Structure 1
Amino acid sequence: MSQEYLTTEELAKRIKYDTRTIRERLKDSVLLEGVHYIRPFGGRKILYIWDVIEQDMLNHSSSHVFAVPMAGGGVCRG
């Protein structure tokens, strides 16, 4: 397995978001545990899976249809 894992700080630098925004607004609404991030060994530390996040960003930015992200990971198209 050759996935790249990032800390919150590393992800923030890469996507040009503040770490606080990632923790308070994106985590558990847009970035979902088990999909976009993991907690290794059941601890408090969070590692983000860069490949999945990058793919989701590219997929959502190419969509021209209005869509609202849902808490369960889906989208509501308006």
Structure 2
Amino acid sequence: MPDQTFLTTDELSARIKYDARTIRNQLKDSVLLEGVHYFRPFGGRKILYIWETIERDMKKVRPVTSIDIPMSSGGMCRV
């Protein structure tokens, strides 16, 4: 993991201009995936986000044909 930037939820919130609560409740585990976009150091409760991976994936263009269906759990189903 050369030169990766690890951010807390509050630091990520400031960078992407989303409320920290939105990151925790809506983006985490639906858009931001454990092992890809974040990890829990030493198996603890604290979460560190990997900025370079998030920045890369934020810039990806999704196909126009996809449809987002809101789920009752707060996540999204992409069809």
Fold match by TM threshold 0.5: yes
Which residue is 1:23 aligned to?
24
Offset of residue 64 of structure 1: 5.4
Structure 2: which 5+ residue stretches go unaligned? 69-77
Superimposed CA distance per residue, residues 7-42 of structure 1 (whole angstroms, 9 cap, x where no aligned partner): 000000000000000000000000000000000110
Alignment TM-score, normalising by the size of structure 1: 0.80
Alignment TM-score, normalising by the size of structure 2: 0.79
Letter in 1 for 2:9: T
After TM superposition, the structure 1 = structure 2 runs for residues 34-53 of structure 1, keeping only pairs within 5 Å, are 34-53=35-54
The answer to which structure has the higher helix fraction is: 1
After TM superposition, the structure 1 = structure 2 runs for residues 1-78 of structure 1, keeping only pairs within 5 Å, are 1-60=2-61, 63=62, 65-68=64-67, 76=79
Aligned length: 69
Root mean square deviation of aligned Cα: 1.6
Which residue is 1:72 aligned to?
none
Offset of residue 68 of structure 1: 4.5
Letter in 2 for 1:44: R
Identity %: 64
Runs of at least 4 residues off by over 4 Å? none
Structure 1: which 5+ residue stretches go unaligned? 70-74
